[in-house]
Amino acid sequence: MGLPTPYSLWLPQAVVFVMQRCSCSEPEAKQALQHADLDGRLEATGDIPLSTHRDPKMREAHPYRKRESLRPGDWAGQIDWDTGKVGPYFSVLITRLSIEAWLNAGREVPPAPVASEDELKKASNSKINAEIRAAYDDAERTRQKPPNLAEIVEPVQARLRDQGFKASSAQIQALAEAEEHKKRRRKPGATLASEKRRQDR
């Protein structure tokens, strides 16, 4: 198990981090984290298989996955703290800043170190493309307007930063020009209302 980082913590790391900060037992740390997540006080993301197969084992074995934000209700299901699995989500990460904010609300805890730009690693094109896809997936799932070229930069940089990576606005926008991303954006002049009317016809 790795040590906590300034960005996000894997689920087993989050348990250890809370145990060290609160001087509590492992079961107490797990229970506290679950309650905090159920209350919507922590920011967590996880990978979910892109499969609708009826067999759970076949779904889990699907090679393609997308990263999504977990909702409070997701924490009411089965949690495997050792492997970092919450319900259907794998490789769950909780942002360290949200854990710090939660702990600070109940006790005095030193603030988490803020990573400088130099501490972030340069993201590969494949990593940036994955986060661009995730940003459009989130917009689609929440029925929000898909980000245009100017708007896509902020959510992608935030996702990368949470995982210890960085990318320039120009690099993100250049990759977002690819056809796979372009087709997910709204055409000029189109609105949510006009798209809904077209779908209802």
Say yes or no: 54 and 142 in one domain.
no
User: pLDDT tens across 163-186, in order?
Assistant: 888 999 999 999 999 999 999 987
Say yes or no: 89 and 161 in one domain.
no
Q: Is 53 contained in some domain? A: yes
Instruction: Pull the structure tokens for residue 48.
Output: 């979910």
Domain boundary among 86, 106, 126: 106
Cα–Cα distance list, 171 to 100, 123, 185 (Å): 31, 10, 18
Q: Which pLDDT belongs to residue 110? A: 45
Any idea which residue has 């790795």 for tokens?
2
Q: Is 134 contained in some domain? A: yes
Say yes or no: 63 and 23 in one domain.
yes
**Residue span of the structural domain in which 13 resides:** 8-106
Cα–Cα distance list, 85 to 69, 75, 76, 77, 111 (Å): 13, 10, 13, 10, 27
Q: How confident is the model at residue 191 (pLDDT cuts 50, 70, 90)?
A: low
Select the more confidently predicted residue: 193 or 90.
90
Say yes or no: 13 and 101 in one domain.
yes
Domain boundary among 82, 106, 130: 106
Say yes or no: 64 and 153 in one domain.
no
Say yes or no: 95 and 143 in one domain.
no
How far apart CA 124 and CA 111 sit, in angstroms, is 30
Say yes or no: 102 and 126 in one domain.
no
Given a cut of 80, whether residue 125 has pLDDT beyond it is yes
Say yes or no: 130 and 63 in one domain.
no
Say yes or no: 95 and 121 in one domain.
no
Share of the chain above pLDDT 70, in %: 76
Domain boundary among 50, 73, 106: 106
Given a cut of 70, whether residue 56 has pLDDT beyond it is no
Q: Which pLDDT belongs to residue 53? A: 55
Q: Is 12 contained in some domain? A: yes
Say yes or no: 102 and 122 in one domain.
no
What pTM does this model have?
A: 0.48
Given a cut of 80, whether residue 59 has pLDDT beyond it is no
Q: Is 148 contained in some domain? A: yes
Given a cut of 50, whether residue 62 has pLDDT beyond it is yes
Q: Is 67 contained in some domain? A: yes
Given a cut of 70, whether residue 122 has pLDDT beyond it is yes
